[in-house]
Amino acid sequence: MLASSIQNQASKKFDYNLKIFYQVKLFDVYPLFPIEPVKAQGSWLWDKEGNKYLDLYGGHAVISIGHSHPHYVETIKNQLDKISFYSNSVQNSLQEELAEKLGRISGYPDYQLFLCSSGAEANENALKLASFVTGRKKVIAFKKSFHGRTSGAVAATDNPKIVSPYNASHEIEFVPFNDQAAFNQAINKDVAAVIIEGIQGVGGIQVPNDSFLQLLSKKCKEVGALLILDEVQSGYGRTGKFFAHQFSGIKPDVITTAKGMGNGFPIGGVLIHPDIKPWHGMLGTTFGGSHLACAAAIAVLEVIEKENLIKNSETLGNYWTESLKKFSPITQIRGRGLMIGFDLPDTFSGLRKDLLFKHHIFTGEAKPNTIRLLPSMAMKKEEADMLLHAISQEINQLV
């Protein structure tokens, strides 16, 4: 009996050590800050040590209406008590409700909506759709673009480091951003689609000129190519209009959206011109348009409309832009509404980290020295002022 007990204990210890040795590790592809948020409310985060942070980045522009908005939370909880998911082989009236609300609030009531789960998936389906419609495969994209990490979307992304040899087989031509002459030279009847961001996000908050978007729209019509507006980051009211391209007055063939669409719940969408006719099996997805995803997205639109958040984005965005101009070290400010980027000289390259670790303010970045601001559209003026005060403190220490 004693020998058997000792053997069992030894066996358990061996199993335990084996589990430790073979414990699955996360695939290390993300550079991480030593901060773990465990709670969020409005524009604020709390880490596991109880430290409070002002969130002016929203997890890459995902948090559109504020963390843990009461109406959003209640809507999702109520939906969980009913049904959270079934496949797209059955009717789902929540999809129709979402399509109606999105069309009405965005100004595209006559467009069609295909639902998916992310911005990359939205862009992938948009590119596929353009190829189906035109029978062509060439795509024009732009320098500094970012459209996602799936096959076609990453091929249309101007970052060779994340484009594998497998992805590189797509036929993509990159044209300088806002360069009308270069675009006129590139566009022809071999092109299936032109894809451009409403405002480039990862590229450093680069705003396309209204005249440039108007040229793209005109030339696409002339050659029979589809114009795809990637509004994944710049859409959903962040710029002071529902979509950033609406400043130019154009109507693209296809518009993609995600990020702020679900306020943290994974959902994406493709708005499709009414002249493009679908057929069964043309596009498809397992999780896109689930009951829970639609409930989250409906709640977001209801809050945007009820709380007039698009106007708030415009007002506070203008306030920030004018206030940032007063800081002499800032060399350039770009953006619209609450999608802002500002450039700094090398002597201020540590500002983003100082804002985070000294002032507990989350912001974003673009290389080499651009700080990106993508807060919740429900941000308050006193929260906007906290950033300005922190920047002033840091600049005064170095000037």
Query: Distance between CA atoms of 33 and 357, rounded to whole angstroms?
Result: 10
CATH of the domain at 325: 3.90.1150.10
Say if residue 250 is in the same domain as residue 318: no
Say if residue 272 is in the same domain as residue 373: no
For residue 3, tell me if it sits in a domain: no
Q: What is the mean pLDDT of residues 173-199?
A: 98
What is the tens place of the pLDDT at every residue in 72-124? 999 999 999 999 999 999 999 999 999 999 999 999 999 999 999 999 999 99
Q: In degrees rounded to 5, what are phi and psi of residue 39?
A: -150, 150
**In the numeric block, which tokens belong to residue 312?**
């708030």
CB 52 within 8 A of CB 45: yes
β-bridge pairing 332-336 and 138-142: unpaired
CB 156 within 8 A of CB 172: yes
What is the pLDDT, as a whole number, of residue 6?
Answer: 53
Please say if the pLDDT value at position 3 is more than 60: no
Say if residue 62 is in the same domain as residue 75: no
CATH of the domain at 282: 3.40.640.10
Q: What is the mean pLDDT of residues 154-181?
A: 96
Quote the pTM value.
0.94
Say if residue 151 is in the same domain as residue 192: yes
Output the CA angle 100-101-104, nearest 5 degrees.
Answer: 85
Say if residue 331 is in the same domain as residue 212: no
Say if residue 237 is in the same domain as residue 141: yes
For residue 4, tell me if it sits in a domain: no
Q: What is the mean pLDDT of residues 366-395?
A: 96
What is the tens place of the pLDDT at every residue in 10-19? 555 545 555 5
Say if residue 100 is in the same domain as residue 174: yes
Say if residue 63 is in the same domain as residue 79: no
CB 261 within 8 A of CB 300: yes
Residues making up the chain, counted from first to last: 399
Say if residue 172 is in the same domain as residue 262: yes
For residue 6, tell me if it sits in a domain: no
Say if residue 289 is in the same domain as residue 330: no
Say if residue 108 is in the same domain as residue 58: no
What is the tens place of the pLDDT at every residue in 47-71? 999 999 999 999 999 999 999 999 9
DSSP state of 368: T
- Helices 309-324 and 291-306 meet at what angle, rounded to 10? 70
For residue 23, tell me if it sits in a domain: no
Query: Distance between CA atoms of 266 and 295, rounded to whole angstroms?
Result: 12
- Structural domains of the chain, count: 2
Residue 59 falls in which region: left (phi positive, over 0), alpha (psi -120 to 50) or beta: left
Say if residue 374 is in the same domain as residue 247: no
For residue 152, tell me if it sits in a domain: yes
For residue 18, tell me if it sits in a domain: no
Please say if the pLDDT value at position 319 is more than 90: yes
CB 243 within 8 A of CB 198: yes
Residue 225's SS3 state is: coil
Q: In degrees rounded to 5, what are phi and psi of residue 238?
A: -60, -35
For residue 15, tell me if it sits in a domain: no
Q: What is the mean pLDDT of residues 213-221?
A: 98
What is the pLDDT, as a whole number, of residue 397?
Answer: 87
Range of the domain at 374: 53-68+309-338+351-398
For residue 64, tell me if it sits in a domain: yes
Please give the helix or strand (H or E) that residue 128 lies within, else none: helix 119-134
Query: Distance between CA atoms of 312 and 319, rounded to whole angstroms?
Result: 10
User: Which residues have CB under 8 Å from 311's CB, separation 6+?
Assistant: 240
β-bridge pairing 52-55 and 112-116: unpaired
